[in-house]
Structures are given as structure tokens and as C-alpha cells.
Amino acid sequence: MISFNLMYAAGVTLNIMSLGGIALSIGMLIDNGIVVLENIDSHRKLGKPIFQAAREGTAEVAGAVTASTLTSIAVFLPLVFVQGIAGQLFRDQALTVTFSQIVSLFIGFTMIPMLAVIGQRKTAEAVAQTRLHHAPDTASDNNQITKAETTTEAVVAAKAPSRLRRLFSRIGAAFKPVGVVFRPVGKRLRWLATPLIWLFRFWKKTAVTSIVLSWLLRLFGLIGKGMHLLFKPIVNGFNYGYRKTELGYDQLINLALQRKLIVISVALALFGVSLFMLSRIGVELIPQLAQGEFVANLRAAPGTPLAKTDNILLKAHRIAGAMPEVERSFAVAGSGNRLDASPDKGGENVGELNVVLKKPVSQQTEADVMRRLREELSRLPGVQVQVERRALFTFKTPLEVELFGYNLDELRASSAQLVAQMRAQDRFIDIRSTVEEGYPELQILFDHERAAKLGLSVPDIAQLVVKKLRGDIATRYAFRDRKIDVVVRLDESDRNSVEEVRQLIVNADPKAPIPLSSIAEVKLAIGPSEIHRIGQERVAIVSANLRYGDLGEAATQVQKLIDQLPERSGVEVRLAGQNEEMQVSFRSLQFALLLALFLVYLVMASQFESLLHPFVIMFSVPLALVGAVLALVITGQTISVVVFIGLIMLAGIVVNNAIVLIDRINQLRAEGMIKLAAVREAGRSRLRPIMMTMLTTVLAMVPLALGIGEGAEIRAPMAITVIGGITVSTLLTLVVIPVLYTLLDRSD
């Protein structure tokens, strides 16, 4: 609840990324509470009073808990400043997790000890009452209890406010130090509590309210007993498994401390194998999202009339409708007209087919439908087909090659050769080039000298020809609520052929008419396409989608094709598209990872007041890489910005277990215990909280890793990375970190 308020203050909305951050935080939120509560319980088992156990148990792990929380914050906070698509996607998630970690630290030091005190005191009172009732000299007390059980409901209910008062008094006692600090503020705001006090006094004097409170207390008691019975098998199973694990760990840590070089060699070998496997995993910008709909762009030959294009789109619409996975489809023929649409973006010869699939839709089903529809539409004669998903982000085409140069003929030749090479590869589909043939057009080449001799102005003649052919709006006709343009131009029979255009009269003298052919050459030709520019330089862009494989492999293959192009003067070639965005994002994420590791080391160095112990703890990060790579290989995931975010998160999460372990070793050695004994004892005493924090984090990630819900393709790789990394890292940390500690810490 507090995190929601902090999100509101920071302007973070509820979206799939911030909600994913909340789901991610659930497992991490209770880590601090687990460590604090487990240590309080350990002190309680030593026979200490509950207040002393709460104070000393919380103080003993305060440093480790603070350091582990700050390391997590140090990892997530730099993600706010990441550039590229990674920064756009994960800013809300990073802020959400940061807020929850701050709140978790506060609750771990306040509410958790307070609740532990209340629970233990109630248990102690119940035990004392039980002993009192079973004493030999308590016959009269037993008679009183029996008599009390037979009283009316109202008398029993009247005791409910007293129970509440005792509960509030215990809460007040637990928060007494906090109350001392905020006492001046409380006195000034006392008038706010006056209505509550009056209301409580009214409830106290009302028998009905007392009965309701009594039944509520009983109801909550029954719920508590039911939950206890429900979870008792789980608790017993966990305790049984933990006891077996504890016995096995004692034997394992003793063996590891006797075979230190073997343990280090195995850890290094696993790290080397993970690096080798990492180089074999594919690379892409972000995983493809199953949107449940896509679009097919169809392009007929230049100059195709709108009616024929409409027939082509009707055939495509019927082909899509015949597929069982398609829920509905609709098509639009034509885009713009001959005079206001560029040949590579619109015109009467282009059309768009929109396809919506039936729910639920998986990424594999969507890709299969797109492949089959592409194959069917490719059989239409003289039609170019491009099937793609709608753009959810500001992404370019997966692969784009930019060819720079001033000479359009050289650009056309280079782009045509590259397109031919890419079409010869089965990996690339939907290949297009912006340097395409334009529409058939009439070209009018004026003879300026002859026009000047006849006293004619070429600009005036050109404007006159345009008005006669295209028409000029003379007025607007009002029909109901519409304004209809009245266009004046030549009759279609006078402008329907090249010869008729040549005979257009271009002067205003009826006695000496001058046809257009006398001052200009009129010919039929194919006009140039639109000229694209990037940075004021002419450019041809060749784009393509992928039939299979990842973006990294495809970019490498395209670069080989670019290297095979013959050198042409003035033509430069550069690989762009999502590959360029991926490189920008990866560079920014690499910097964020290095910054996170540096901040984590600084936090631990300031906490331990040592440079050696944080160095030992940092070895848990490469151990996490082993598990992360193994999880990616098993699940068939590729490396993307989402996986990279998961690796950065691991850098702050996996060190927490090592911090708790090393902190306990240092405490035991400060109490006079020798090094090896302290290592063994710290491992045994910290095994339970380490295993529990690992399990809570992993179990909280499982719903994300299963890929449930919309946008799950973005969250699942990150969760898989974290689950694999933290699982393997925890198991290796419990063995490798103690061995490294004994090797690197040479003090007695």
C-alpha cells in the first residue's frame, strides 16, 4: 500500500511493466522479514525473554538486512537512466521495485519485531494459563471458569473491548520508541483522535457492538485455526525437507572445506562452460509479442487501376477468411491518388489486408498463420506481399540497410543487387527497397527558347496544362450539409491519349492557336520514385523481415552480403534497423551493469568496513550467470534487453545471501570463535533464511515465467533468467563463498 502511494507521487501508472515490478517485488518484499523473524526465533530458543530476543535479534541482522536492501536498490535505480527501448520499457518497473524495497526495509525493522512480540506474548500467556488451570490447588478457579462458560452471551461479549485494549497496549509498547520521537507531533494532532475516542467509548457502552466484536474475534480465531490446519502439511513437509537438507549441508560444507581447490576448480569450470554456451545463444532486441492480429500489405504493378487492385484485395480477403484460425479480416484498396501519393508508400495499386485471429493466440500460432497466408498471397500474379505485425513500439523493421549516395542510378544498382542477394537466402522475407519504379506518366519537356520567341511563359503554360488535365476548383456546390467541389477541366475524350495532350492549345489567341507540341516534347515514360534523405543525404533503404532465426545471426549474414557488394564511387552502405537500436540498448545496459556492480561493491564495503569481504561476496555474481545461462538454454530463450535486465537484477539479488552469510561469520569471529568453526556455524545458522528467501523469490517469479496474460513475452525471459540465476547461485553460494572466505581471509 505504501509502495502504491510512492508510485503515485512519482507519476508511475499501473501498466504491464509496473505490475510486473509488483509481482517481482512480492518475493523480495518478505526477504527482510524472513531474516529478521528467523533471527528473533533463534534468540528466543536460547531462553531469552521475548522483548530481549526481539531487540537483540533485530539488531544482530540490521547491518546485513540494510546492506542487502541497499544493494538491490543500487541495482534497480540505474535502470531508470538506461537509454533506448530498455529504458522506455523498464523505467516503471525499476521505480516500483525500488519503492517496495525501501518500504520492506522500514517494515522489517518496525512491524516484524512488533508482531513477533505480540505473537510470543500471547503464546506465553496461553501456556501460563494452561499451567495454572492444571495445578492441584485450582479447583475453585476451575469452578469459576465453568461458571463463566455458562453465562449469557452479552456478559462474554462485554469482555471484547478489554481484549482490544490489551492488544492496543501491546502495540503501543512495541512502538514506544517511535512514540517518543513523534510525541510532539502527536500532541499537536491530538484533536484528530478525539472523534475516534468518543466513538470507542460509545462502542464500549453498547452491548450490541460488544456482541458483534466478540463474534468477529471468534470468526477470526476460526479462520486462523483453519489456515493452520490447511498449511500444517506444507509446513511439516518443508521442515522435514529442511532437516534432511541441513544434515546434507553439514556433510557437504565439511567436505568442501577439506577439498578447497576442487571446489574452486569446479566453480571456474562451470563459469567457463556458461560463457561458451552464452556465445551460442541467439540475440534479438525484444521477444516477439503475440498480438492476435497482423496486416498484409499488397502492391500490384505500377499503374494498376483502383478497380483491379480492389479485385486483388477481395481475393486476399477470401484466402484469409478461409483459414480456421482467423476470426475476421477486412481489406482497404488504394491509398491516396495519382497526384498526391508517393509510389513507394501509396497509390491506386496498393492495398492493405487486416487479419484478426481467434482468442487465445500463442506466438507460434500467429507466426504459423502469417507464414501460410504469405505463401498463399505470393501466388497472386504480379503482386508483392509484405506480412507484418502492427508496431507496438517505435521500432524499425528488424533489418534495414541504408545505402547513401548522390547518384540515383548508382543507388538503384547497388540496392537491386543487395535485394537479389537477400532473396537468394531463405532466411529473409518481405524484402523491399525504397528505390522502386514509379508510375507511368506523361513527361513534358519544354523548349524555353522557342516559347520565348512566341512570347509565351513556360511557368504559365505549365500551370495552364495542369488546370486543363487535373482541373481547377471553380466553386463549391452546397448539398444538405456538404460542400461539393465543382471542378472545371477538359472532357475525358480531349485528354485521354498522348496525341490529344500534344494538341492542347496553350495560348489565348484564337486566330493563331499554338499547340503544346510546338513548344514542348510530350512523351510517355516511367517517373522516378520518391527520393529519401537521411541527414540531408540521398539514401536507398532495403528492409526485410525474418523467416526464422534471431536478429543477431541475421545481421551477421546481411553484413557478409554487404561486404560482397562491388564498390561504387560515392555509395556508402550501413546496417541499421532494429540491429542498430539493439546495439544502442546493449551498450547502455552494459554501462548500467558495470555501474550496478560498482554501487553494490561500495555499499558492501561501507557496511563491512573492508575491501576483502565485499570482493568475496561479488563472486556470487558469476555463479548466478551459470544458472541464468542454463535456464535460457533449457527454455530456448534468446538474449534480449529483457534478459539483460534480468542479469542486472541478479547482480543485486544474489549478493544478499552472501551478505547474510559473511556478516554472520564476522559476528561469530568477533565473539572469539576460530575461522573454520565460524564458517561452519554461520552456514548452519543461516541455511534456513537463505533457503527461504531463495524459495520466496523463485516462487514469486513462477507466474511470470509461465507466460500467463497479455504481454507475457516481455516478462517471461526476465523471470526465467532470475529463477535460473538465483537458484544455482544460492546452491553454489552456500559452498563456494565459505571456501573463498577461508582462502582469501588470511587472518586467524
Q: Which domains occur in the chain, in start order? A: 2-110+259-283+583-744 (1.20.1640.10), 290-391 (3.30.70.1430), 440-526 (3.30.2090.10)
What is the predicted pLDDT for the residue at 269? Answer: 92
Quickly list DSSP for 537-604: EEEEEEEEEESSS-HHHHHHHHHHHHHTSPP-TT-EEEEETHHHHHHHHHHHHHHHHHHHHHHHHHHH
Below-50 pLDDT ranges, the chain: 126-128, 130-161, 163-165, 167-168, 175, 177-182, 185, 189, 337-341, 343
pTM: 0.66
Spacing of C-alpha 691 from chain mean position: 27
| 465 and 505 Cβ atoms separated by less than 8 Å | no
The CA-based angle 567-568-572, given to 5 degrees, is 85
Distance separating alpha carbons of residues 404 and 722, to the nearest angstrom:
43
Rounded-to-integer distance, Cα 261 and Cα 268, Å: 11
What pLDDT was estimated at residue 346?
62
Q: What is the pLDDT of residue 529?
A: 60
Residue 289 has what DSSP assignment? P
Characterize the bridge pairing of strands 399-404 and 293-299. unpaired
Task: Read off the C-alpha cell for 726.
Answer: 538465483
User: Which residue type occupies 605?
Assistant: A
Enclosing H/E stretch for 384 = strand 384-389
Radius of gyration of the chain (CA): 38
Q: Which pLDDT value is given to residue 339?
A: 44
* Long-range contacts (CB closer than 8 Å, 24 or more residues apart) made by 42-51: 42/685, 44/120, 50/116, 50/117, 50/120, 50/121, 50/124, 51/117
Cell output for 608: 563491512
